[in-house]
A = this chain, B = another copy of it.
Amino acid sequence: MKKVKLSEIALAAGVSRATVSLALRGSPLIAKPTAERVRAVAERLGYVYNRTAAALRNRKTHTIGLVEANFKNPFFAAMSESVEREIEQRGKALLFVDSAESLQRQQKAIQLMLEHGVDGILLCPVRQTTQEDLGILVKAGVPFVLFSRYIPGFNTDYVGAANVEGAYQAVRKMIELGHRRIIFIGGEPYTSPWFDRVKGFKRAMEESGIELPSPWYVCSEVSVAGGASRVDEVLQMRPVPTAALCYSDTVAFGFMLGLERRGIHPGRDFAVVGFDDLPESRLWRPPLATLACPPSKVGSMAIRMLLERLDGEEGPPRRVEIQSELVQRDSLCPMWNT
């Protein structure tokens, strides 16, 4: 199992190590016939390029770190896909960690990636993350881009959905359809998207002079189970809400399933709107109205911003918000007349 290295190719081809190195990378310094011969020998010997050695010398690993907070969420899965696609195209590799909402795991992941010498990091910070927690990245001078979640007061590169506007839009529409008792359901509290969605929600209610129900939001894990787990609580409120803005489509799915189980028909007796526009949302019964913000856009924008930094882009931090568009579907029904 001995690995073939440059010096062995050099020997076999009757040239020097330097020539082999240059030839294999297609340097114009090497004459065409020589390069061709070297390439053939390398192929014949089954040579595998050693990126570790090259990385040591170049101080560049061509590796990107991706730290997610919750990749069981299909939105993140879709996002990662587009990140991966871009990275693959450039012949780079992806170091991946799911911090699973644990600060400790996240910090360990960052440390690991620094030790591996990643060229840059894409990070969706867990909820308790402070500016100090990321100080190690700043000190190490490793470029990073936050995605989906930002850290209030910490001015960094960031890409995420237009959460305030999205939620605002949805609630305005609900009000326009006659709803007055509206509630916000699900999400990890004290993450920026949760906070911003709640903010847009509240703003729309207040602007219309509608009193907020009490409580006016309930939190949950971002999953079908999370949404389903809050149904009883909501139905026990008096007066009972008639509409819900859900933190995500998955939460909305769970909530709708829970409603149905209790004989309440979403899209007729209860209006539901989600966030994300997953591919299956339009297939649901009823089709789920939702705030569409393509995960692929978030992903490719984030990785592009990072790659620009790696190429030496020096400007001030950029904050990019991807537009959230309300997709009207049957689950967003008018208030029933009493």
Contacts and interface: CB of A to CB of B under 8 A. Distances in A.
Interface residues of A, number: 58
A91 to B, nearest CB: 7
Interface stretch (A34-42, A147-155, A254-262, A318-326): A254-262
B279 A225 contact: yes
A49 B113 CA distance: 10
A279 B91 contact: no
A280 B224 contact: yes
A71 interface: yes
Contacts of A228: 280, 283
Interface stretch (A11-19, A74-82, A176-184): A74-82
Identical copies of this chain, number = 2
Interface string A65-77: 0100001101001
A98 B72 contact: no
Contacts of A105: 88
Interface stretch (A51-59, A167-175, A204-212): A51-59
Contact of A97 (B94, B109, B112): B94
A243 B77 CA distance: 32
A263 B184 CA distance: 31
A278 to B, nearest CB: 8
B280 A140 contact: no
A93 B116 contact: yes
B116 A51 contact: yes
Contact of A88 (B55, B97, B114): B97
6 contacts: A1-B141, A46-B139, A52-B61, A74-B74, A93-B97, A254-B283
